[in-house]
Amino acid sequence: MIPIRDDNPKHRTPYVAYGIMGLCILVFVWQLALGRQEFQNLFFSLGLIPAVVTGQAALPEQLALVPPWLTVFTSMFLHGGFFHLAGNLLYLWIFADNVEDVLGHVRFTIFYLLCGVGAAAAQVLPSPDSVIPMVGASGAISGVLAAYLLMFPHARVLVAIPLGFILHMIKLRAVTVLGFWFLLQLLSSLMTPPDTGGVAFRAHLGGFVAGLVLLPLLTGRRRAG
């Protein structure tokens, strides 16, 4: 199920969401320009490595570009490949504008970064000695999806459903689309052995839960649209 767009109008320009998307693109172009070896090294230098963050391991001096705690944030803007980046930008494009519309630019920025912190915690705490780096905006974006679900559960989302070689287009309520997304992350997390690399499903779940908790704190109420 691939979301294409929603029918939820916005009332202000989502400058922060656009800025995040632009920064992710610029960072990815920078990654590509560095060459293959440096591209890989950046995952260790600026990606989130649980064992480094918890102090159970240390990077070689030439790779330790920033303090370990800062990688919680730098890792949000690195991506492992074009499709990794494109998928994250798609979800940001569709869902972030309405969340920023309600929260405002400053609160949305705080919300987004804190959801990223929640995603990082969900990745680090179960495996504090893991040396596998985590990169990508998916965890923070998961919090945005949770906020959208709480505020606009009945908004209509156009999705493409692959049926063999055909994409079937259908409009579904956001609660169906995002509920299916969460269930998929949960099942994938349960079925994926820990510390095997690949998709950081625990971070997705952590960011989503962080979004559910943080939104009422920042708005003071839940809004259904």
166-201 tens-digit pLDDT: 888 999 999 999 999 999 999 988 877 666 666 788
pTM of the model: 0.90
Residues 64-105: tens digit of each pLDDT: 889 999 999 999 999 989 999 999 999 999 999 999 999 999
pLDDT confidence tier of residue 24, bands split at 50, 70 and 90: very high
**Domain limits, the chain:** 2-219
Which helix (H) or strand (E) is 13 found in, with range? none
**What class is the 2-219 domain?**
mainly alpha
Closest to 58 (Cα-Cα) out of 135, 129, 134, 136: 129
Residues 97-146: tens digit of each pLDDT: 999 999 999 999 999 999 999 999 999 998 899 999 999 999 999 999 99
pLDDT of residue 166: 85
Tokens of 117: 């912190």
Tokens of 54: 């918890």
pLDDT of residue 121: 95
For every residue of 161-203, DSSP letters joined together read EEETTEEEEEEEEHHHHHHHHHHHHHHHHHHSPTT--S--HHH
pLDDT of residue 196: 64
